[in-house]
Amino acid sequence: MSWTEERIERLKSMWSEGSTASQIADELGGVSRNAVIGKAHRLGLEARPSPVKPGEEKETPKKAAKAAAPKAAKAPKAEPPAAAANAADVAPGDAPDGPGPDLPSQAPQAQRPQAATPDATLQYRSVGPGGFIRQGPGDTQAPIPPAPPRRLVPAKPSAEVADKTSLLDLNDRICRWPIGHPGEPDFHFCGQSANPGFPYCVQHCGVAYQAQLPRRDRRPPPPLPFGGPRVR
């Protein structure tokens, strides 16, 4: 699998949105987590908040011997003064409290002006029994919550999904092969009788499971499990 324009683009956006290297690797398919990290660094995407603590450094004998030279080049990284200044600029009211560092939107990483992906920061919040409302990061004023309905009734499934196998229909006897993309109106599952002992029907087992060949001889590009790349 090679780094095509599309795949690099996907990597860039997901990386800057805060997806983990593993998630990116899964999504792209055909590459390892390490490959993603390696590529990201080669692209210069570097330096986003990682679980690694930048604070201190121990000197184990092994490391001292091995990394004596490289350490110099590694040094310029986190800049506590700048970070502190940024934190001071933030108004007391909008401190990033709720979400953890995993969430893409308002993590302290936002200081790096990335050209792409200014979106994907919509927030959904519950307004109580009335349901949910959507709020973008640019919305300064709190949206007016809709008047709560008298009672809550189950939403009717859309016509597209009415006959199809939904998430709730899944069990261990029917094929769980996804058709379409999650979030799209007609996303559903295969629903055929599953091959006993497998999560898929016989046909989809044929797609999902393939004989393991020696690395060099692996021919077919791995089947894309969700019906192929999303086209927009």
Partner DNA sequence: CCCTGATTCGC
Partner DNA sequence: GCGAATCAGG
Q: How many residues of this chain bind DNA (CB under 7 A)? A: 34
Q: Is the dihedral of CA 213, 215, 221, 223 positive or negative?
A: positive
Count CB atoms within 10 A of the CB of residue 151: 6
Determine, following the binding rule CB under 7 A, whether residue 10 of this chain makes contact with DNA.
no
113 CB-near residues (< 8 Å, 6+ apart): none
Determine, following the binding rule CB under 7 A, whether residue 63 of this chain makes contact with DNA.
yes
* Window 68 to 87, contacts with DNA (CB under 7 A): 70, 73-74
Q: Which is nearer to DNA, 134 or 218 (CB)?
A: 218
Determine, following the binding rule CB under 7 A, whether residue 216 of this chain makes contact with DNA.
no
Determine, following the binding rule CB under 7 A, whether residue 35 of this chain makes contact with DNA.
yes
List the beta bridge partners of residue 125.
Answer: 133
Give CA–CA dist 98/137, Å, rounded: 14
Q: How far is the CB of 225 from DNA (least distance, A)?
A: 18
| Contact region with DNA (CB under 7 A), list: 57-65, 110-118, 132-140, 144-152 | 57-65
How far apart, in Å, do the first and last CA atoms of the chain sit? 22
List the beta bridge partners of residue 228.
Answer: none
| Chain residues that interact with DNA, rule: CB under 7 A | 1-3, 20-23, 31-35, 37-42, 46-48, 50-53, 57-58, 60, 62-63, 67, 70, 73-74
